[in-house]
C-alpha cells in the first residue's frame, strides 16, 4: 500500500469506488482533435478529387494503374486520421479493476490498446516517461506500466501529457489491490 499522500482526482477523470471493484474513466476530448478532424477532412477531400480525376481520365496501361494504386496508402492514412479524430470526440477510456483483473477498454468506438490483465500476474506498478523527438521538438508523455511476476514489464495505459494523471491511476490501482508502492528503476 502506498505511503504517498493521496493525489487529487485529475480534471476530466471520474472515479467509482466500491468494495469489490473500482473504475476510473476519462474523456479523450481535447482541442487537438479539432485540428485533426479539419486536417483529415482536407486530406480525404484531396483524395476524393484525385480519384475523381483518376477514374474519369483514361491513361495508357501501367500509368493508369499507378495513378490509381499509388495513393492507396494515403487513403489508409486519411481514414485512420479521421477515425482517430472521431474517437477523440466520442470516446471514453475505462480502467476497471477488481481483485481478479484489470480491464482497460474504450467506448463507444473500439480502439487499439484495450487489454485485460490478471491481478495475480502483477507484482508492481510504475509510471514511465516516454520521449519522442520529431523535427527537433521533444514530446513527453507518461504511461502506467506493470511489472509482472515473470519479471517482464507491460504497458497498461499511456498517452498522458500530465505525469499526475498517470501517477493517479497507478496510486488508485495500488491502493485498491494493496500493492506496496516501491521505486522502480
Helix, strand, coil distribution of the chain in percent, nearest 5:
40, 35, 30
pLDDT tens track, the chain, 185 positions: 445 788 999 999 999 999 999 999 999 989 999 999 999 999 999 999 999 988 888 777 777 778 788 889 999 999 999 999 999 999 999 999 999 999 999 999 999 999 999 999 999 999 999 999 988 899 999 999 999 999 999 999 999 999 999 999 999 999 999 999 888 76
Q: State pTM to two decimals.
A: 0.85
Phi, psi of 131 (to 5 degrees): -120, 135
Alpha-carbon distance of 93 to 102, in angstroms, equals 13
CA geometry: angle at 6 spanning 3 and 9, to 5°? Answer: 155
| Distance (Å, whole) CA 126 – CA 145 | 5
Amino acid at each position: 500500500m502506498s505511503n504517498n499522500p493521496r493525489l487529487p482526482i485529475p480534471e476530466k477523470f471520474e472515479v467509482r469506488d466500491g468494495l469489490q471493484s473500482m473504475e476510473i474513466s476519462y474523456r479523450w476530448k481535447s482541442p487537438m482533435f479539432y485540428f485533426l478532424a479539419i486536417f483529415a477532412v482536407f486530406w480525404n477531400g484531396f483524395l476524393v478529387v484525385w480519384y475523381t480525376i483518376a477514374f474519369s481520365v483514361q491513361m495508357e496501361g501501367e500509368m493508369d494503374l499507378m495513378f490509381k494504386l499509388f495513393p492507396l496508402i494515403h487513403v489508409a492514412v486519411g481514414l485512420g486520421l479521421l477515425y482517430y479524430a472521431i474517437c477523440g470526440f466520442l470516446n471514453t477510456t475505462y480502467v476497471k479493476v477488481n481483485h481478479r483483473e484489470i480491464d482497460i477498454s474504450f467506448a463507444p468506438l473500439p480502439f487499439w490498446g484495450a487489454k485485460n490483465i490478471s491481478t495475480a500476474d502483477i507484482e508492481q506498478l510504475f509510471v514511465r516517461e516516454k520521449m519522442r523527438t520529431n523535427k527537433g521538438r521533444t514530446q513527453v508523455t507518461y504511461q502506467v506500466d506493470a511489472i509482472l511476476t515473470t519479471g517482464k514489464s507491460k504497458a497498461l495505459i499511456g498517452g498522458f501529457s500530465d505525469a499526475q494523471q498517470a501517477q493517479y491511476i497507478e496510486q488508485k490501482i495500488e491502493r485498491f489491490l494493496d500493492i506496496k508502492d516501491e521505486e522502480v528503476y
